Structure 1
Amino acid sequence: MNSNPNETMFLSITPVDEATHRYTVCLAAPPHIVSDGLWGSAAANRKPMKSFLPLFELQVLLIFAITQICRLLLNPLGLPIFISQMLAGLILQACFALDPFASYMRLLFPYGTHDTITTISSIGFVLFIFINGVQMDFGLITRMGKRAWTIAISGLLVPIFCAISILSLFPFGHSGNYDDLVVALVSHTVISFAVISSFLNELQIQNSELGKLALSSALISDVLCTIVTSTGTAVMVTEDSNVKEVTRNILSLICMGILIPLVCRPAMLWIIKHTPEGRAVKDGYVYVIIVLLFILGWLSVKINQEFVLGAFILGLSVPEGPPLGSALVKKLNFFGTTFLLPIFVSISVLKADFSATHSSTSVMTMTFVVIFTHLVKIIACLVPSLYCNMPWRDALSLALILNTKGVVEIGLFCFLYDTKVIDGLGFGVMILSIMVVACIVQWSVKFLYDPSRKFAGYQKRNMMNLKPWSELRMLVCIHKPSHISSMIDVLDLCCPTTESPIIVEVLHLIELVGRALPIFIPHRLRRQASGLQHKSYSDDVILTFDIYEHDNPHAVSAYPCTAIAPPNLMHEDVCNLAFDKVASIIILPFHQRWSSDGEVQFDDKNIRTLNNRVLEISPCSVGILVTRASHQIRGSTTRLALIYLGGHDDEEALCIARRAIRNPEVNLVVYHLVFKEDDEWGQEVDDELEDVKHAHEHNIRYQQIIAKEGAQTAAFLSDIVKEHDFFLVGRRHGIESPQTDGLTDWSEFPELGVIGDFLASPDLESRASILVVQQQLSSKAHSGWLF
């Protein structure tokens, strides 16, 4: 330790045995926490750079600044977030070796403060493990298919057996530290659920079929690895241990693994039972669980286990999802994952030692073991995936995902380095291997896997290609209770009859909080399987559509489902369900809703993001419903208007209008906006409606409007907006015409199209609802990659 007392937090440093790096240090007791300020007493030696708190604040500030700069620079490359945190540690380490910065770095990071910031930031790592344990659905293991079990077990056992065979055949132990090679082998074989979950979340494929399979396999692997490593640690005999101590550790580990779930989980279920529905869990319960988290961590250390083991077992015992699981995640996520965890990653990387350049043979040997392990593991995961009839690109993507490394491995290597299982050079090589593997996997999966590819429009799924009296398959999406009545209005507008029935899939979308695995619940199948009515998040939705189906016998069949997913991945559930059920159209609620007096009741940006993504990749036609007021179409006259300019989207809206006028209580007016009076489109529309006119002369009217510019169109729409209760409009995305010239510049919501956006403007003071329709996109429109 080439340091003098002025560069440390110690008062004096006396070498005892420099060969073994043993020193006698003198530290003020109690240590200086808060300084006297820049102008304080120098005699008391309580200057800012000699006190722990000011130094800690400066260290955090510096790490945060470097991390954010690295993240800003690396973001265009699509690298994982933790890479910027690791790079910050490497930059700090490089500054210690550069002459212009070395003195400042010794001033900011004096010897004696590393342990302080490492200890504090380690709390972030513990909370990260606990949060991921809370988000795990442990009961999912019993519901896994054979495919997930096969992939997980094959990905664990095959690389270990192959690498052990290589290590036993070749004398790698003579070329370096043999413990480093074993650690490299085992650590690059195991799979961490927390790492896989974070990786899939960054790529936004957590809710895809591939993502769900990867999470299932990672859950199995993580639990098996935790059991094996904990047992191995307990039976490991050291110089100071004996049979009695080993037996005590094993029995304590078994008690911890059994008693925590048996005692804590029922207590937490009692808390949930005594929490009123819709209310948050009391803060007192949350604080008790947090205190219990650290007590169990202390007990884990007492039985020679890692501190995080108790946190992991307690996290698995917490019932996932709201209200308790989501409350714990919300309380701890920012402090643990967002604030402390990046500091822990940067400080851990700062410990790496790259100065031992003479050990090139050891570096090459470890590099070979790492590469060999990953190649074997890719093959071990790829073969069972292909055997289960997965597409080759998806199987390779899954194998790569299960090979990724991240924060959990960093924490593991840091623990092994602190306990002197591996040396500084081995720690540095493994840290670099994490960065390289994570970058390769992220880039490769982005290139190989496109979750929107299966939605390509090779099959016609729209209203226009339906036969006149065929059944209509629809998917309606509901986020809030206020959406239920408006979706019922759309179903009434489509006029379900026994001759032309409607099969409607009702999807209730709920934000995923407090768990990592998305959930899809088909309620009718669950009731048929159990014969009982289960309490559900979607009770109001289920009851309403059950009543609606009962009121329309043989005309409506409703199948309610619930999807609990992250907001940025909900479009996957919507498109998957529409694709599987061969729906012709998806009805989505608009992200804004107005009250009767024109005030905005809510404005949900997540709903708008969902609508835009569904419009881009939908396997069928899409309608966005802008609700002003609820119109009871059945039992009262509805004044329906269709704004027609031409194009596929307007033709799709026209098909909905043709179904609507089968209801004698719907009066339809088709406003055809043309550039000149003898427009050729006018005759075509008139011909399409000719047969309908004869059958429904009493409730349909066709009117041709001449509009040579956008201003004339806006003026006409302003005049008729209060004459109707419901508007049908085509989105006409990407189509320009003289009738809308100039209106695009004022468009606020492009997903509604030019006409739909104008009609939805609150300046018109209209109470009419609007359905904006986009016809199914062609296969070419789906050919782009979804990053």
Structure 2
Amino acid sequence: MDAEDSLFLAYRLVSVFDNDENYQVCVYTPPNIVSDGLWGGEVNGRTPMKSSLTMFELQAGLILGPSLDIKALNLNHYKKMLFPYGSQDTLATVTSLGYVFFIFVTSVQMDLTMITRTGNKVWGIALVGLLTPIIAGLSCWSFLSESTKAYLGPVYTDLHIVIGTHSLTSFSVVACVLTDLKILNSELGRLALSSALVSDTLSLIIMNTGTALINDIDGEISLVGLAPFFSFVILVPLISRPAMLWVIKHTPEGRPVKEHYIFIIIGMVLGLGWLSVRLNQDFILGPFILGLSVPEGPPLGSALIKKIQLFGLSFLLPIFVTTCVMKVDLTLPFQSKPVLYVIAFILLVHAVKITGCLVVTLCCKMPFSDSLSLALILSCQGVVEVCLFNGIYDSKLLTGQTYGILMIAIMIIASIAQTSLKYLYDPSRKYTSYQQRNIMNLKATSELRMVACLHKQSHITSIIDFLDICHPTTDNPIVVDALHLIELIGRALPIFVPHRQKADPGLHNSYSDNVILAFDFYQQEKPETTVNIYTAISPPRLMHEDVCNLALDKLAAMVILPFHQRWSIDGKIESNDKNIRAINLKVLERAPCSVGILVARASLPKDSPLRLAMVFLGGNDDREALCLAKRAARDPRTNLVVYHLVAEDKAGTSNLENILDKAVLKNVRQENCELSNVIYREIPSIDGSQTTAFLRSIVGGHDYFIVGRRHEVNTPQTSGLTSWSEFPELGAIGDLLASSDCRSRASVLVVQQQESHAQMKWKF
């Protein structure tokens, strides 16, 4: 090798031992970090191809690019030029910071207090999944014959590393798998995360304690190494945790943490990593302990994650993983028998691990498909294992042959597990078989059970106004399960807390204090209403699962969702939350009961009569909306007007639909109406333009509208309106009433009746 193919001035081969070559190198002092350009560096040697930063920029820019056919183009010369001897250290060192930040972010998102609150099932799954494959693997390894050991050579010592590493369960890998599969906050996802947290914590304690008990000069086990290790583990949280709580205390509510605090903590990540190395521990121990000391969630935990996410996790980490895989050399002489033994032990460990998890979960009476899904999730491997194998390989504890097999095994196992999970576990299957849950099918004297969703403090008033409209009485009580939905930021474990039961000490009560106080006060005023309050902290794209699960468990007849737009007093749009809209669309698709989207514009007067209107065209949704309107009309202070828009041509409507419409309208027609506060008006409408003109003429005379969402495609009254709808989830009529063109201050409730799961696959 020529010196020109390296970053060094000169180097020479010193020794060769077990295929390891040791070189003595001559380097620049100080080293050439930056370049003086193509021509400016000829004198001092700081040319682009002899400068570390320039080489790193070239490698990081090209390493993730498309592969080229090296044999056809003979790119060995360019490969040596791009990756000269000595430059790999710079690339690996800089990009390894991505893994350090990944471990730090993972520990920030972990909540170790969950370990003390997990049940026996979680501990059983974690312990069995961790210990049984280790015991089974080491037992088989110890019984290998002497001839086999001699034939395997160095691969024999690799096998115990294979057993130990493949028995582990990484919390961060499991969290990534569940997020990719969109089942993070499902029942299975919560169980998998809790089990992975226990297993990962136990394995980390064992590994780091074992590292602290490294042999001394005489090769004997020494307890001296434990003192600095435990001092480090104890002192870092004791010092850093109060400091971070002080930062949070001095950050105004709703304001971001000052950036200089963020940069100080990032500096501490690197400093504690250096200190970990000085204590003969892995570099990532310090960042991991510091991350556990950070209070999870906003404002500090979420701010740190957002600051590190782009550069550390999205840029440096993928390059580091790529450099780890680049070390795999498939041109090595792979002997068939050692390869088969490594593969056999990998299969043995995973088979025992899956079987152990299956036995524990089946004993807990979990369905077989769910048990197998959980076992596969806990067997997944990813970036943590890639970096773990890379560190072991760099320490010369693994042969290149075994290292290559382990890297390939990670990809195969992850692909098989995730592909199988998509077929085994479908969280929406629980909605496929259930009884009809809607307002139409409720008995006259039965209670009305609803799930009311809130994202912001402004939603409290609109939900309470709607509950007043529903007119709870002693004979017809209302049970409301109020669900406060909060975005999961700065933590990995989704949280679901019932506030009427024992409070979760890991959840800051300030998240839902205002919601709890508001509904407690309302329940005292309206004893006919029972309110149960819950807090769900989960990713926005998975919040619909929390809503649907609660509605299913509580046998709710309707879910009330807030509209994603909010208007100011002058009628202008004040906020527009696209996450809320995405949640509403998914709930409409999967809800196990009827759904109402509430477009709130103004608070209702408490002492004045309510001017309520129901626009009826026909169909399931309109009949459901009318049943809700008739319930509201039981309140004598509510004046209900039912506008029945009738088309002259009814050829597009089936006879059955006409019969059902007439039946539900029968007791609100003027001549048969039992309530003096209900007025029925039949309005002729031949097309969408006439419907639009009529609705605009009445919006000023009402405080509240209740309408159905869907109508038949060829309904003359809405012809032409659908193509102009801005928000299809509101339907043609609801979208028109909610539009700013109507210049209305009336709130609108858009109702969709519950149907079978197979019929609820719409595209918006």
Bin for the TM-score computed over the shorter chain: over 0.9
The residue type paired with residue 27 of structure 1 is V
C-alpha contact (below 8 Å) 1:192/1:222 kept by paired residues? yes
Match of 1:159 among 115, 121, 133: 133
SS of the residue corresponding to residue 766 of structure 1 reads coil
1:460-498 deviation line (CA, Å, top 9, x unaligned): 111111112321111111111111111111111111112
The residue type paired with residue 533 of structure 2 is P
**Match for residue 563 of structure 1?**
536
C-alpha contact (below 8 Å) 2:484/2:535 kept by paired residues? yes
Match of 1:348 among 293, 306, 324: 324
User: d(CA) in 2 for partners of 1:152 and 1:276?
Assistant: 40
**Match for residue 474 of structure 1?**
450
Alignment of 1:160-309 (within 5 A): 160-171=134-145, 172-173=148-149, 174-176=151-153, 177-237=155-215, 240=217, 243=220, 246-309=222-285
Match of 2:516 among 542, 559, 576: 542
User: d(CA) in 2 for partners of 1:605 and 1:153?
Assistant: 42
Match of 2:548 among 565, 569, 575: 575
**Match for residue 630 of structure 2?**
658
Match of 2:573 among 597, 600, 609: 600
The residue type paired with residue 169 of structure 1 is F
Match of 2:616 among 625, 644, 649: 644
**Match for residue 61 of structure 1?**
61
Match of 1:493 among 448, 452, 469: 469
Match of 1:14 among 9, 12, 17: 12
User: d(CA) in 2 for partners of 1:759 and 1:540?
Assistant: 31
Of 490-499 and 257-266, deviating more is 257-266
C-alpha contact (below 8 Å) 1:155/1:189 kept by paired residues? yes
The residue type paired with residue 498 of structure 2 is P
SS of the residue corresponding to residue 772 of structure 1 reads strand
| Deviation, structure 1 residue 723 | 2.8
| Deviation, structure 1 residue 351 | 1.1
Answering whether residue 391 of structure 2 is matched by residue 391 of structure 1, we say: no
| Deviation, structure 1 residue 275 | 3.8
User: d(CA) in 2 for partners of 1:350 and 1:360?
Assistant: 23
Taking a change above 3 Å as real, the CA distance of residues 736 and 300 of structure 1, as seen in their structure-2 partners, is: farther
SS of the residue corresponding to residue 679 of structure 2 reads strand
Answering whether residue 285 of structure 2 is matched by residue 312 of structure 1, we say: no
C-alpha contact (below 8 Å) 2:35/2:41 kept by paired residues? no
User: d(CA) in 2 for partners of 1:697 and 1:127?
Assistant: 67
Match of 2:94 among 92, 95, 120: 120
User: d(CA) in 2 for partners of 1:136 and 1:184?
Assistant: 27
Alignment of 1:126-145 (within 5 A): 126-145=100-119
Answering whether residue 664 of structure 2 is matched by residue 688 of structure 1, we say: yes
The residue type paired with residue 118 of structure 2 is M
**Match for residue 4 of structure 1?**
2
SS of the residue corresponding to residue 205 of structure 1 reads coil
| Deviation, structure 1 residue 612 | 0.9
1:640-678 deviation line (CA, Å, top 9, x unaligned): 222222221111111111111111222222222233277
SS of the residue corresponding to residue 247 of structure 1 reads coil
| Deviation, structure 1 residue 248 | 2.7
User: d(CA) in 2 for partners of 1:612 and 1:352?
Assistant: 46
Taking a change above 3 Å as real, the CA distance of residues 745 and 688 of structure 1, as seen in their structure-2 partners, is: closer
| Deviation, structure 1 residue 259 | 2.6
User: d(CA) in 1 for partners of 2:467 and 2:218?
Assistant: 73
**Match for residue 52 of structure 1?**
52
User: d(CA) in 1 for partners of 2:43 and 2:629?
Assistant: 88
Match of 1:673 among 642, 645, 657: 645
1:98-129 deviation line (CA, Å, top 9, x unaligned): 65333222222222111101101111111111
**Match for residue 684 of structure 2?**
706
Taking a change above 3 Å as real, the CA distance of residues 270 and 757 of structure 1, as seen in their structure-2 partners, is: same
SS of the residue corresponding to residue 14 of structure 2 reads strand
State the TM-score, normalized to the length of structure 1: 0.90
C-alpha contact (below 8 Å) 2:129/2:167 kept by paired residues? yes
**Match for residue 612 of structure 1?**
585
C-alpha contact (below 8 Å) 1:4/1:13 kept by paired residues? no
User: d(CA) in 2 for partners of 1:138 and 1:258?
Assistant: 15
| Deviation, structure 1 residue 97 | 6.4
Which 5+ residue runs of structure 2 have no aligned equivalent? Answer: none
User: d(CA) in 2 for partners of 1:581 and 1:736?
Assistant: 37
**Match for residue 80 of structure 1?**
none
The residue type paired with residue 155 of structure 1 is G
C-alpha contact (below 8 Å) 1:10/1:28 kept by paired residues? yes
| Deviation, structure 1 residue 65 | 4.1
| Deviation, structure 1 residue 710 | 2.6
The residue type paired with residue 132 of structure 1 is T
1:412-436 deviation line (CA, Å, top 9, x unaligned): 1111011101122211111111111
Match of 1:585 among 535, 558, 567: 558
SS of the residue corresponding to residue 471 of structure 2 reads coil
1:610-655 deviation line (CA, Å, top 9, x unaligned): 11111111111111111122223x4212222222222211111111
Alignment of 1:752-767 (within 5 A): 752-767=730-745
**Match for residue 628 of structure 1?**
601
1:142-180 deviation line (CA, Å, top 9, x unaligned): 111000000010011111111112212234533242232
C-alpha contact (below 8 Å) 1:453/1:783 kept by paired residues? no
Taking a change above 3 Å as real, the CA distance of residues 504 and 421 of structure 1, as seen in their structure-2 partners, is: same
| Deviation, structure 1 residue 773 | 0.9
User: d(CA) in 2 for partners of 1:534 and 1:303?
Assistant: 35
1:358-393 deviation line (CA, Å, top 9, x unaligned): 423222211111111111111011110111011111
C-alpha contact (below 8 Å) 1:195/1:405 kept by paired residues? yes
User: d(CA) in 2 for partners of 1:65 and 1:589?
Assistant: 45
User: d(CA) in 2 for partners of 1:286 and 1:574?
Assistant: 35
Answering whether residue 83 of structure 2 is matched by residue 105 of structure 1, we say: no
State the TM-score, normalized to the length of structure 2: 0.93
SS of the residue corresponding to residue 183 of structure 2 reads coil
SS of the residue corresponding to residue 706 of structure 2 reads strand
| Deviation, structure 1 residue 551 | 1.3
SS of the residue corresponding to residue 301 of structure 2 reads helix
SS of the residue corresponding to residue 728 of structure 1 reads strand
SS of the residue corresponding to residue 770 of structure 1 reads strand
User: d(CA) in 1 for partners of 2:499 and 2:241?
Assistant: 26
C-alpha contact (below 8 Å) 2:618/2:711 kept by paired residues? no
C-alpha contact (below 8 Å) 2:96/2:317 kept by paired residues? yes
**Match for residue 727 of structure 2?**
749
User: d(CA) in 2 for partners of 1:34 and 1:327?
Assistant: 32
**Match for residue 85 of structure 1?**
none
| Deviation, structure 1 residue 201 | 1.1
SS of the residue corresponding to residue 254 of structure 2 reads coil
Which 5+ residue runs of structure 1 have no aligned equivalent? Answer: 67-90
1:710-729 deviation line (CA, Å, top 9, x unaligned): 33323332333333222211
SS of the residue corresponding to residue 681 of structure 2 reads strand
User: d(CA) in 2 for partners of 1:184 and 1:143?
Assistant: 32
C-alpha contact (below 8 Å) 1:457/1:620 kept by paired residues? no
RMSD: 2.5
User: d(CA) in 2 for partners of 1:513 and 1:158?
Assistant: 35
The residue type paired with residue 21 of structure 1 is E
C-alpha contact (below 8 Å) 1:95/1:102 kept by paired residues? no
Of 712-721 and 485-494, deviating more is 712-721
Taking a change above 3 Å as real, the CA distance of residues 536 and 271 of structure 1, as seen in their structure-2 partners, is: same
Of 141-150 and 325-334, deviating more is 325-334
User: d(CA) in 2 for partners of 1:129 and 1:4?
Assistant: 39
| Deviation, structure 1 residue 255 | 1.8
Determine what percentage of the aligned residue pairs are the same residue. 52
**Match for residue 510 of structure 1?**
486
Answering whether residue 411 of structure 2 is matched by residue 435 of structure 1, we say: yes
| Deviation, structure 1 residue 37 | 2.4
SS of the residue corresponding to residue 534 of structure 2 reads strand
User: d(CA) in 2 for partners of 1:5 and 1:417?
Assistant: 27
The residue type paired with residue 502 of structure 1 is I
